[in-house]
Structure 1
Amino acid sequence: MTVSPAPREHDVLTDLLTQVGYRNEKAFAELYRRTSARLFGLCMRMMGDPDDAEETLQECFVVVWHRAPLFDPRLAGAMTWLMAIARNKAIDRLRQRPRTQGARDIDWDALPDTSPGPAEDGENDLAYRRLSDCLGALENRQRYCVRDAFFSGLTYVELAERMQVPLGTMKSWIRRALQQLRACMTP
């Protein structure tokens, strides 16, 4: 008797998200169980407040329920798609905050990633390694600006103020960094 290997987490999440697109409530509950901790971690890092992070996560899953029929596994992995929704919801909430709260300085290199499951699976993924290598090839200031723009939700204006450079310079730095990333990521 042969034992078939357990499905990879990536494949399980893809299947669950596809089933959510068909309005399968059990699949939605399982998708939440498997991904909410990681998505909450992203929201928490971006929001800096547990209550805001919880509300952002709730909004994220409302969007997932409504947009799941649009998910296409040929365009993005399930976790990537979910992370993008969570990131965008967090950015929306951060932009609604009063200006006085400002953005927090985050030392991205000092944050440990201790989450098991999808994170470990993602680290083994070729695309993840390629992106990590490509980010590592950027100049330090470009890398930090791209990370702060995409993971903290900072605007060009906020980044320019933080780095004490003109707005046009900041836009150029990020544009060049994204061009470098695109060139590096293209096989």
Structure 2
Amino acid sequence: MLTTTAPALAATDDRALVRAIAAGDTAAADALYRRYWPDLQRVCLRVTRCPDDAADAAQDAMLATLRRLPELDADTLNLPAYLKVAARRAALDRVAQRNRTRAFADHEQGALPDPRGDAQDRAESADRTARVHAALRELPQRQREALIRAAWHGQDVPEIAEAMGLNCNATSQLLHRARRGLAARLG
């Protein structure tokens, strides 16, 4: 395992840090952690609205990124954007996990309604589904494809970017336009 002095890494640009981390430099990983931890925690806190969940999600995002860095191209990687997407995804996973835990606790206490629902609930759900599908069909093809990959297939921005032949920034913008367009069509 390689090590570099911490003061030398403090002034190192992101590309050099990514290369050093890929080569096994633990001091570079520490420098990356120190540089981006506050930003990751802020992103996660905005999503989770819980400091403990935000810290856990930021940690998950950093670890996932450190595991994935050796596979990524340091010259084309926009590290701050990549980390922000990883943080948002980890925070959303924490919120979903918290909601599942809450639903389970409610079920244990008998607080959940009958899962079959009544006829009116099913009709309203079918109507919503039809409206969403109609609004999706109105989106431009590339926006629709990106949104479906993200929402239905659970792909993250780097996966969508690779599949669609785009970079991460272009993919993030495409998803933003798709979500905004879908929201406008749904009123």
Greater radius of gyration (CA): 2
Task: Provide the TM-score with structure 2 as the length reference.
Answer: 0.49
Task: Provide the TM-score with structure 1 as the length reference.
Answer: 0.49
